[in-house]
C-alpha cells in the first residue's frame, strides 16, 4: 500500500503529483508520510482585529470578506480583500496567483484566516494568508498544533499551499486507516518506552499536544538513526567476513630493528595503542579498513611508517597517497629520514616526475625491488603496477572521491601469479589518515563502517600554541612582535585567503600585502619567500625549499600551505582576513607552527566588521587548541554536508533526525544496533523479524544505503 504512486491519492491527480515529485521528491504514499513538518503553530487561539499588535507574528482570525479590488503597482497588480470582524477591518493581500484566488473567494461567508500580519499606513494586512471556511475548519481532522510542511516557491505559486498538503496528508491517513507496520523489535520499544509506529506517525503530522509530539519525534529520530547505524555496522561485519585480507603473519626485522634501535623519540601512549589496533587488524584474516584520526602534529606519520614496515616484513609493498604534491614531497622526505638506517627503497611519484624517473619506478615496482611508493593521484594511473601491494595509506581522504579509492583496491596482488586463469586481486589493507578531526557524531554516521583509531595526545616537549585575535589597527604592534621573533632566529608565516570566485581580488590582496611586508621588512636584513597558486610547481618548490632551509625569514602565502609543510623553526603564523576562513582551515593553518620545542604563536588579523559566526570562530580559536572541540563547533556552524565536502554531502540526507541536535539519540541508536547484531548478526531470530523486514524494505526502496564510501 505505501509503495502506491502518489498520483492515486484522492485530491492529488496527475498535475499535482508531477509537482510533488519534482519539487519535494514525493513519488509514493511512503514518501508523503516521510514529509515531516518543519515546525508547528499553536492554533488554539483566535484573535480579534482590534487585539493585533505591530509585531509581525502569526495569528488566526475569524471574519468575512466584504470587498475585493485590484491595485496597480510598479510591476503588475496586487489583489486586496477587505476582511472584517465585529471589532474592525484589515486587508488580505495577494501578489501572485490572483486569477485563481479571485475565482475561489466568496464574499460575506465566515472564513478562518491565518498568517503573518504587517502594519503599514495605519492598516494591518496579511499577505498570502492560509484560508478556509469556518464550517470546514471546525469539522477537519485537526490538532491544536498545526504542522507547517517544507515547501517551495513553485508549489505555492501553483496553489499547493500548506493547507493543501495538510488536506492530502489527512486523505492519506483515511486511506491507510492510520495503521503502519511496526518497524522495531518489542524489546527495544519496551526498553526505551517508545510509542508505537502508528501512534508516532499520527502525532508527527497531527499532534494532540506538545508531549505526544515530543515522543513521536524521539521515536522517529531513533528509528531513522538506528537503521543507518545497523546498515553501517552490518557493512563492516560483512566486510570482515567476506573480504579476505592479505595475511601479515608476523612482525619482523624491519619493524623490530627500527623500534629498538632507530626510533627518534619515545612513542606516546596513544601512538602505541593505535599501532596495536593496526597490528591486530593486519594479523586477522580480514582486510583492514581503518580510519586514523590525529590532530595536526600528533605523529600520524611515524605510525604510518611502522605499519608499512610490518607489510615489508611480510614480503609486501606499501604505498602512501597524498592529495597535493607539496604534501607528498613532505611525506617522502620524512619517511626517507626515518628509514635511512634501514635497508629499504622508497621512491616518489607525482605529476612533476619526468619520464625517465617514471620508467624506473614502474620497473622497480613490478619486479618488487621498490618497497614503498609515495605520491599523489599519479599512483592511480593504470601504468603503475605493483608486484604485491599489501598496504595502501591514504592521507586526507576526504579530498579523494570514492572511485579513486577503489582504483587503489584493484592494485593488490592477484591470487595466483603462475595460474593462467587470472583471479581478481586481493585488496591491500587500507589505512586512511586525516588531520581534520571529525566530530564523533559525524564519524559514527559517515565512517561508521570503518574502524576508527584516534591519536589524542601530542608528543612530549610540544608546547600549546598561543592564539590571539588582533584588529587591523594593531598591525604595527604585530610587526614589532614579528621582528622580535626573527631576532631570536625564528621564522614566520603570513597567510592570505584564497576564495575561488574572486581570484583576481585575492591575488591583488596577496600582492598588496607582500609589498607592504617588503616595505616593513627591507632587504638585505630580511629575506622573504612568496608562494601562491598561480606559480609554476618548480618555482613554488624553490621558494618552499628556501624557507625550509632557513634562507628566508618570512613566508607570504595563500592557503597552499594549509596541509603538510613542516618547518620546526617557524614559530609565528599570521592569518590575514581571518574572518574569511572556516574553522577547520584556521585550525589546519595554526598547526603549521608549534612543531619545534619553542613557544609558538598564531595571530588572527581581522577588520572590525565581523558577523556573529566569525566572532564564534575567532573566540573558539583563541580559547582552545583541541581539534575535536573545534570540529564540534564547526559542525554546529556549518552543518554536516559542508564539512564532508561535496562528494559526500548526500550522505546525511536525513528526514527527521539532526546529527548536531540529536547526538544522544544517535549514540543510543548505535548502541542498540551493535547490541542487536552482536546477539544475532543475521537477524534471523524470531524477535528480530520486524527489524529484518524493515531493513530489507529500506534497502529495496531507498537508495540511502549506497552512499557510504
CA–CA distance, 575 with 497 (Å, rounded to integer):
8
Looking at residue 418, its pLDDT comes to 46
Q: Classify domain 466-624 by CATH number.
A: 3.40.50.300
Residue 67: count of CB within 10 angstroms of its CB: 11
CB environment 418-432: b (16+ within 10 A), e (fewer): eeeeeeebbbbbbbb
Is 621 in contact with 464 (CB distance < 8 Å)?
no
pTM of the entire predicted model? 0.68
The CATH superfamily of 6-176 is Nucleic acid-binding proteins (2.40.50.140)
CA–CA distance, 339 with 244 (Å, rounded to integer):
30
Looking at residue 237, its pLDDT comes to 86
CA–CA distance, 17 with 686 (Å, rounded to integer):
39
Q: Per-residue DSSP letters for 140-181?
A: S---SEEEE----HHHHHTT--HHHHHHHHHHHHHHHTT---
In the chain, residues under CATH classification 2.40.50.140 are 6-176
How far apart, in Å, do the first and last CA atoms of the chain sit? 33
Please give the mean pLDDT across all residues of the chain. 87
Looking at residue 642, its pLDDT comes to 52
Rounded to 5 degrees, φ, ψ at 302 are -70, -35
- Select from 390, 363, 282, 376 the least CA-distant residue to 326: 376
CA–CA distance, 511 with 166 (Å, rounded to integer):
58
In the chain, residues under CATH classification 3.40.50.300 are 466-624
Residue numbers in the chain where pLDDT is lower than 50: 416-421, 500-501, 643-651, 703-709
- Select from 131, 105, 101, 128 the least CA-distant residue to 116: 128
Residue 148: count of CB within 10 angstroms of its CB: 15
How far, in Å, are 133, 449, 525, 695 from residue 237 at the CA level? 58, 9, 62, 16
Q: Per-residue DSSP letters for 385-442?
A: --SSEEEEEEESGGGS-HHHHHHHHTTSPBS-SS-SSPPPBPPPEEEEEESSPPPHHH
Q: How many alpha carbons lie under 13 Å from residue 243 in its C-beta half-sphere? A: 19
402-408 long-range CB contacts below 8 Å, 24 or more apart? 402/647, 402/709, 404/377, 404/380, 405/430, 405/709, 407/380, 408/319, 408/321, 408/379, 408/380
Amino acid at each position: 500500500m505505501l509503495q502506491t504512486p502518489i498520483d492515486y491519492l484522492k485530491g492529488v491527480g496527475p498535475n499535482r503529483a508531477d509537482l510533488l515529485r519534482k519539487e519535494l521528491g514525493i513519488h509514493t504514499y511512503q514518501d508523503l508520510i516521510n514529509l515531516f513538518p518543519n515546525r508547528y503553530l499553536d492554533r488554539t487561539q483566535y484573535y480579534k482585529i482590534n487585539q493585533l499588535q505591530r509585531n509581525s507574528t502569526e495569528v488566526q482570525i475569524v471574519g468575512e470578506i466584504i470587498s475585493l479590488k485590484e491595485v496597480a503597482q510598479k510591476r503588475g497588480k496586487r489583489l486586496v480583500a477587505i476582511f472584517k470582524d465585529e471589532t474592525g477591518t484589515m486587508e488580505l493581500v495577494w501578489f501572485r496567483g490572483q486569477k485563481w484566488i479571485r475565482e475561489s473567494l466568496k464574499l460575506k461567508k465566515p472564513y478562518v484566516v491565518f498568517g503573518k500580519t504587517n502594519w503599514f499606513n495605519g492598516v494591518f494586512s496579511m499577505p498570502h494568508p492560509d484560508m478556509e471556511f469556518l464550517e470546514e475548519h471546525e469539522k477537519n481532522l485537526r490538532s491544536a498544533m498545526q504542522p507547517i510542511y517544507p515547501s517551495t516557491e513553485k508549489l505555492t505559486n501553483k496553489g499547493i499551499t500548506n493547507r493543501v498538503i495538510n488536506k492530502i496528508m489527512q486523505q492519506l491517513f483515511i486511506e491507510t486507516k492510520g495503521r503502519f507496520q511496526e518497524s522495531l523489535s518489542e524489546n527495544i520499544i519496551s526498553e526505551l518506552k517508545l510509542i508505537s509506529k502508528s501512534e508516532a506517525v499520527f502525532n508527527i503530522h497531527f499532534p494532540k499536544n506538545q508531549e505526544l509530539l515530543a515522543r513521536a519525534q524521539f521515536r522517529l529520530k531513533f528509528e531513522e538513526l538506528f537503521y543507518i547505524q545497523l546498515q553501517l555496522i552490518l557493512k563492516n561485519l560483512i566486510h570482515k567476513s567476506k573480504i579476505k585480507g592479505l595475511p601479515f603473519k608476523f612482525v619482523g626485522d624491519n619493524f623490530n630493528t627500527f623500534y629498538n634501535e632507530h626510533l627518534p623519540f619515545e612513542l606516546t601512549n596513544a601512538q602505541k595503542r593505535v599501532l596495536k589496533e593496526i597490528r591486530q587488524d593486519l594479523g586477522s584474516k580480514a582486510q583492514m579498513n581503518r580510519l586514523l584520526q590525529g590532530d595536526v602534529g600528533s605523529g600520524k606519520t611515524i605510525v604510518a611508517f611502522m605499519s608499512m614496515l610490518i607489510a615489508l616484513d611480510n614480503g609486501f609493498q606499501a604505498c602512501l597517497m597524498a592529495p597535493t604534491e607539496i604534501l607528498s614531497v613532505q611525506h617522502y622526505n620524512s619517511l626517507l629520514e626515518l628509514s635511512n638506517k634501514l635497508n629499504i627503497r622508497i621512491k616518489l611519484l607525482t605529476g612533476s616526475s619526468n619520464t625517465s624517473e617514471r620508467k624506473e619506478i614502474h620497473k622497480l615496482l613490478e619486479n618488487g625491488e621498490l618497497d614503498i611508493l609515495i605520491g599523489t593521484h599519479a599512483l592511480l594511473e593504470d601504468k603503475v603496477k605493483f608486484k604485491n601491494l599489501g598496504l595502501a595509506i591514504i592521507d586526507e581522504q576526504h579530498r579523494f572521491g570514492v572511485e579513486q579509492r577503489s582504483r587503489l583496491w584493484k592494485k593488490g596482488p592477484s591470487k595466483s601469479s603462475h595460474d593462467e586463469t587470472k583471479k581478481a586481486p586481493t585488496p591491500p589493507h587500507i589505512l586512511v589518515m586525516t588531520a581534520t578531526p571529525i566530530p564523533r557524531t559525524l564519524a559514527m554516521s559517515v565512517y561508521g563502517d570503518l574502524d576508527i583509531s584516534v591519536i589524542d595526545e601530542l608528543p612530549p616537549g610540544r608546547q600549546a600554541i598561543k592564539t590571539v585575535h588582533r584588529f587591523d589597527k594593531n598591525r604595527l604592534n604585530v610587526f614589532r612582535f614579528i621582528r622580535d621573533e626573527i631576532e631570536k632566529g625564528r621564522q614566520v608565516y603570513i597567510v592570505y585567503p584564497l576564495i575561488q570566485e574572486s581570484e583576481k581580488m585575492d591575488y591583488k590582496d596577496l600582492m598588496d600585502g607582500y609589498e607592504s611586508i617588503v616595505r616593513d621588512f627591507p632587504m638585505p636584513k630580511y629575506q622573504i619567500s612568496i608562494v601562491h597558486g598561480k606559480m609554476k610547481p618548480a618555482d613554488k618548490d624553490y621558494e618552499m625549499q628556501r624557507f625550509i632551509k632557513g634562507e628566508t625569514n618570512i613566508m607570504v602565502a595563500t592557503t597552499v600551505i594549509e596541509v603538510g609543510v613542516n618547518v620546526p623553526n617557524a614559530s609565528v603564523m599570521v592569518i590575514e582576513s581571518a574572518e574569511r576562513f572556516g574553522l577547520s582551515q584556521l585550525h589546519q593553518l595554526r598547526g603549521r607552527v608549534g612543531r619545534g620545542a619553542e613557544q609558538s604563536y598564531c595571530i588572527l588579523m581581522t577588520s572590525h566588521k565581523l558577523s556573529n559566526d566569525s566572532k564564534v570562530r575567532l573566540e573558539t580559536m583563541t580559547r582552545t587548541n583541541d581539534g575535536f572541540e573545534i570540529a564540534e563547533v564547526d559542525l554546529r556552524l556549518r552543518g554536516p554536508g559542508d564539512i564532508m565536502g561535496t562528494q559526500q554531502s548526500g550522505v546525511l540526507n536525513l528526514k527527521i533526525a539532526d546529527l548536531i541536535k540529536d547526538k544522544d539519540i544517535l549514540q543510543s541508536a548505535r548502541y542498540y544496533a551493535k547490541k542487536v547484531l552482536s546477539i544475532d548478526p543475521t537477524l534471523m531470530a524470531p524477535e528480530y523479524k520486524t527489524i529484518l523486514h524493515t531493513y530489507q524494505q529500506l534497502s529495496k526502496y531507498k537508495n540511502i544505503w549506497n552512499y557510504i564510501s
